Amino acid sequence: MCRQFITAGKLSGLRKLLKSVYNEDIKIKLYEEIDKKEETLEEEIEKEIEEQKGKPESEDAVLTHRIPVLIYESGEKFITKMKWGIRFDPEKKTPLIFNSRDDTISIKPFWKKLFDRNRILIPMKGFYEWKDVGKKKKLKIKIEKKDGKIFLVPGLYWKNKEGINEFSLITTSPNKFMETIHSRMPVILDDENVFIFFTDSVDENLEKLKPSQEEFIFEEQEN
Protein backbone atom coordinates (compact mmCIF):
# COMPACT_ATOMS: atom_id res chain seq x y z
CA MET A 1 0.00 0.00 0.00
CA CYS A 2 1.29 3.43 -0.91
CA ARG A 3 -0.60 6.48 0.32
CA GLN A 4 2.08 9.13 0.09
CA PHE A 5 4.94 9.66 -2.33
CA ILE A 6 7.43 12.27 -3.48
CA THR A 7 6.71 13.85 -6.84
CA ALA A 8 9.54 14.57 -9.26
CA GLY A 9 8.57 18.24 -9.57
CA LYS A 10 5.85 20.45 -10.96
CA LEU A 11 4.82 20.71 -14.60
CA SER A 12 7.58 22.86 -16.08
CA GLY A 13 10.42 21.46 -13.99
CA LEU A 14 9.24 17.91 -14.55
CA ARG A 15 9.24 18.36 -18.31
CA LYS A 16 12.89 19.44 -18.21
CA LEU A 17 13.83 16.61 -15.86
CA LEU A 18 12.18 13.94 -18.02
CA LYS A 19 13.94 15.35 -21.07
CA SER A 20 17.31 15.16 -19.33
CA VAL A 21 16.78 11.62 -18.00
CA TYR A 22 14.94 9.92 -20.87
CA ASN A 23 15.66 12.24 -23.82
CA GLU A 24 11.94 12.38 -24.56
CA ASP A 25 10.11 15.45 -25.84
CA ILE A 26 7.06 15.60 -23.58
CA LYS A 27 4.47 18.35 -23.80
CA ILE A 28 2.22 19.84 -21.12
CA LYS A 29 -1.55 19.62 -21.37
CA LEU A 30 -4.21 20.48 -18.82
CA TYR A 31 -6.97 18.02 -19.68
CA GLU A 32 -9.44 19.45 -17.21
CA GLU A 33 -9.01 22.97 -18.56
CA ILE A 34 -8.93 22.17 -22.24
CA ASP A 35 -10.43 25.52 -23.26
CA LYS A 36 -7.49 27.50 -21.87
CA LYS A 37 -5.63 29.51 -24.44
CA GLU A 38 -2.00 28.58 -24.87
CA GLU A 39 -0.76 31.90 -23.50
CA THR A 40 -2.78 31.32 -20.32
CA LEU A 41 -1.12 27.93 -19.91
CA GLU A 42 2.30 29.52 -20.34
CA GLU A 43 1.41 32.08 -17.65
CA GLU A 44 0.57 29.25 -15.28
CA ILE A 45 3.87 27.53 -16.04
CA GLU A 46 5.79 30.74 -15.40
CA LYS A 47 3.94 31.17 -12.12
CA GLU A 48 4.97 27.67 -11.08
CA ILE A 49 8.60 28.45 -11.91
CA GLU A 50 8.46 31.52 -9.65
CA GLU A 51 6.88 29.49 -6.85
CA GLN A 52 9.66 26.89 -7.09
CA LYS A 53 12.48 29.39 -6.62
CA GLY A 54 14.22 28.77 -3.33
CA LYS A 55 12.18 25.62 -2.66
CA PRO A 56 13.21 21.96 -2.92
CA GLU A 57 12.47 20.42 -6.34
CA SER A 58 10.44 17.57 -4.88
CA GLU A 59 7.28 17.71 -2.84
CA ASP A 60 5.08 15.21 -1.07
CA ALA A 61 2.01 14.01 -2.93
CA VAL A 62 -1.00 13.18 -0.78
CA LEU A 63 -4.39 11.63 -1.46
CA THR A 64 -7.05 13.65 -3.34
CA HIS A 65 -4.49 16.22 -4.53
CA ARG A 66 -3.98 16.94 -8.23
CA ILE A 67 -0.59 15.48 -9.13
CA PRO A 68 1.52 15.49 -12.32
CA VAL A 69 1.27 12.29 -14.37
CA LEU A 70 2.19 11.22 -17.91
CA ILE A 71 -0.47 10.28 -20.43
CA TYR A 72 -0.33 9.16 -24.07
CA GLU A 73 -2.67 10.54 -26.71
CA SER A 74 -2.59 10.44 -30.53
CA GLY A 75 1.02 9.28 -30.57
CA GLU A 76 2.30 11.99 -28.20
CA LYS A 77 3.24 12.03 -24.52
CA PHE A 78 1.88 14.73 -22.27
CA ILE A 79 2.32 15.81 -18.67
CA THR A 80 -1.00 16.67 -17.09
CA LYS A 81 -2.53 16.69 -13.62
CA MET A 82 -4.96 14.20 -12.16
CA LYS A 83 -6.57 13.72 -8.78
CA TRP A 84 -5.02 10.89 -6.77
CA GLY A 85 -7.73 8.49 -5.60
CA ILE A 86 -10.71 7.00 -7.42
CA ARG A 87 -14.08 7.26 -5.68
CA PHE A 88 -16.83 5.72 -7.77
CA ASP A 89 -19.79 7.09 -5.82
CA PRO A 90 -19.11 9.97 -3.37
CA GLU A 91 -22.77 10.12 -2.36
CA LYS A 92 -22.65 6.53 -1.13
CA LYS A 93 -19.21 7.15 0.39
CA THR A 94 -17.60 4.30 -1.52
CA PRO A 95 -13.94 3.66 -0.61
CA LEU A 96 -11.19 5.88 -1.98
CA ILE A 97 -9.10 3.63 -4.22
CA PHE A 98 -5.56 4.95 -4.39
CA ASN A 99 -3.70 1.69 -5.10
CA SER A 100 -4.69 -1.01 -7.62
CA ARG A 101 -3.27 -4.49 -7.09
CA ASP A 102 -1.56 -6.25 -9.98
CA ASP A 103 -3.40 -9.52 -9.25
CA THR A 104 -6.79 -7.74 -9.23
CA ILE A 105 -6.09 -6.09 -12.58
CA SER A 106 -5.17 -9.41 -14.17
CA ILE A 107 -8.38 -11.24 -13.18
CA LYS A 108 -11.17 -8.64 -12.94
CA PRO A 109 -12.50 -7.47 -16.33
CA PHE A 110 -13.38 -3.92 -15.20
CA TRP A 111 -9.89 -3.18 -13.88
CA LYS A 112 -8.20 -4.93 -16.78
CA LYS A 113 -10.19 -2.75 -19.19
CA LEU A 114 -9.17 0.44 -17.35
CA PHE A 115 -5.56 -0.74 -17.34
CA ASP A 116 -5.75 -1.31 -21.09
CA ARG A 117 -7.52 1.89 -22.14
CA ASN A 118 -6.67 4.41 -19.42
CA ARG A 119 -3.02 3.89 -18.60
CA ILE A 120 -0.71 6.52 -17.13
CA LEU A 121 2.79 6.81 -15.67
CA ILE A 122 3.43 8.56 -12.36
CA PRO A 123 6.87 10.20 -11.92
CA MET A 124 8.33 9.80 -8.43
CA LYS A 125 11.52 10.48 -6.52
CA GLY A 126 10.48 8.27 -3.62
CA PHE A 127 7.56 7.01 -1.59
CA TYR A 128 6.58 6.30 2.01
CA GLU A 129 5.44 3.20 3.82
CA TRP A 130 4.36 2.64 7.41
CA LYS A 131 6.09 -0.31 9.08
CA ASP A 132 4.28 -2.15 11.84
CA VAL A 133 6.52 -2.02 14.94
CA GLY A 134 4.07 -3.56 17.40
CA LYS A 135 1.69 -2.28 20.07
CA LYS A 136 -0.45 -0.68 17.36
CA LYS A 137 2.44 1.58 16.41
CA LYS A 138 3.68 2.25 12.89
CA LEU A 139 6.96 3.77 11.78
CA LYS A 140 6.92 6.03 8.74
CA ILE A 141 9.77 5.23 6.35
CA LYS A 142 10.93 7.22 3.34
CA ILE A 143 12.06 4.99 0.45
CA GLU A 144 14.20 6.10 -2.50
CA LYS A 145 16.25 4.36 -5.16
CA LYS A 146 19.85 3.88 -4.14
CA ASP A 147 21.07 5.66 -7.27
CA GLY A 148 18.88 8.66 -6.43
CA LYS A 149 17.20 8.70 -9.84
CA ILE A 150 13.57 9.37 -10.55
CA PHE A 151 11.36 6.46 -11.54
CA LEU A 152 7.99 5.92 -13.23
CA VAL A 153 5.15 3.92 -11.70
CA PRO A 154 2.28 2.64 -13.89
CA GLY A 155 -1.26 3.60 -13.02
CA LEU A 156 -4.77 3.80 -14.38
CA TYR A 157 -7.49 6.43 -14.30
CA TRP A 158 -11.15 7.07 -14.90
CA LYS A 159 -13.27 10.21 -15.37
CA ASN A 160 -15.81 10.84 -12.60
CA LYS A 161 -19.29 12.35 -12.93
CA GLU A 162 -17.88 15.87 -12.64
CA GLY A 163 -15.51 15.22 -15.55
CA ILE A 164 -12.42 15.07 -13.32
CA ASN A 165 -9.76 12.45 -14.03
CA GLU A 166 -8.95 10.39 -10.94
CA PHE A 167 -6.09 7.89 -10.81
CA SER A 168 -4.77 4.93 -8.88
CA LEU A 169 -1.19 3.70 -8.91
CA ILE A 170 -0.40 0.00 -9.35
CA THR A 171 1.21 -2.10 -6.61
CA THR A 172 2.75 -5.55 -6.55
CA SER A 173 4.40 -7.91 -4.07
CA PRO A 174 7.56 -6.58 -2.39
CA ASN A 175 11.12 -7.27 -3.45
CA LYS A 176 13.78 -8.42 -0.99
CA PHE A 177 14.54 -4.84 0.05
CA MET A 178 10.92 -4.00 0.78
CA GLU A 179 9.56 -7.21 2.31
CA THR A 180 10.76 -6.34 5.82
CA ILE A 181 8.80 -3.07 5.67
CA HIS A 182 5.54 -3.82 3.88
CA SER A 183 3.68 -6.55 2.02
CA ARG A 184 3.15 -4.37 -1.08
CA MET A 185 5.15 -1.87 -3.11
CA PRO A 186 4.56 0.29 -6.19
CA VAL A 187 5.43 -1.28 -9.53
CA ILE A 188 8.57 0.46 -10.82
CA LEU A 189 9.23 0.07 -14.53
CA ASP A 190 12.81 -0.31 -15.66
CA ASP A 191 14.07 2.14 -18.26
CA GLU A 192 13.57 -0.15 -21.24
CA ASN A 193 9.93 -0.70 -20.28
CA VAL A 194 9.05 2.87 -19.43
CA PHE A 195 7.55 4.31 -22.59
CA ILE A 196 6.66 1.09 -24.42
CA PHE A 197 4.13 0.76 -21.60
CA PHE A 198 1.98 3.23 -23.54
CA THR A 199 1.96 1.20 -26.76
CA ASP A 200 2.28 -2.45 -25.70
CA SER A 201 -0.77 -4.71 -25.44
CA VAL A 202 -2.57 -5.21 -22.15
CA ASP A 203 -1.12 -8.74 -21.82
CA GLU A 204 2.41 -7.48 -22.47
CA ASN A 205 1.93 -4.81 -19.85
CA LEU A 206 0.58 -7.27 -17.30
CA GLU A 207 3.93 -9.05 -17.58
CA LYS A 208 5.64 -5.82 -16.51
CA LEU A 209 3.79 -5.70 -13.19
CA LYS A 210 6.56 -7.29 -11.14
CA PRO A 211 8.65 -6.24 -8.14
CA SER A 212 11.58 -4.03 -9.10
CA GLN A 213 15.00 -5.52 -8.41
CA GLU A 214 16.49 -2.08 -7.77
CA GLU A 215 18.19 -1.41 -4.46
CA PHE A 216 16.59 1.11 -2.14
CA ILE A 217 17.66 3.31 0.74
CA PHE A 218 15.42 3.78 3.76
CA GLU A 219 15.09 6.72 6.13
CA GLU A 220 12.91 6.76 9.23
CA GLN A 221 10.61 9.79 9.46
CA GLU A 222 8.85 11.58 12.26
CA ASN A 223 5.11 10.91 12.10
pTM of the shown model? 0.87
Reply yes or no on whether the pLDDT at 22 is more than 80: yes
Instruction: Give tens-digit pLDDT for 188-207.
Output: 999 887 999 999 999 999 99
Q: Do residues 79 and 29 lie in contact, with contact meaning Cβ atoms separated by under 8 Å?
A: yes
pLDDT digits (tens, 9 = 90+) for 45-95: 556 556 545 554 458 898 988 999 999 999 999 999 999 999 998 888 888
Q: Answer whether residue 114 is part of any domain.
A: yes
SS3 label, residue 212: coil
- Alpha helical stretches, state H, the chain: 11-22, 38-52, 102-107, 109-117, 202-206
State the residue range of the domain holding 109.
4-121+155-172+184-210
Q: Of the candidates 161, 145, 156, 154, which has an alpha carbon nearest to the alpha carbon of residue 218?
A: 145
Whole-number average pLDDT of the chain: 87
151, 145 Cβ separation under 8 angstroms: yes
Average of per-residue pLDDT across 108-118: 96
Residue 220 in any domain: the answer is: no
According to the model, what pLDDT value does residue 50 have? 60
CATH of the domain at 44: 3.90.1680.20
Asked, for residue 188, whether it belongs to a domain, the answer is: yes
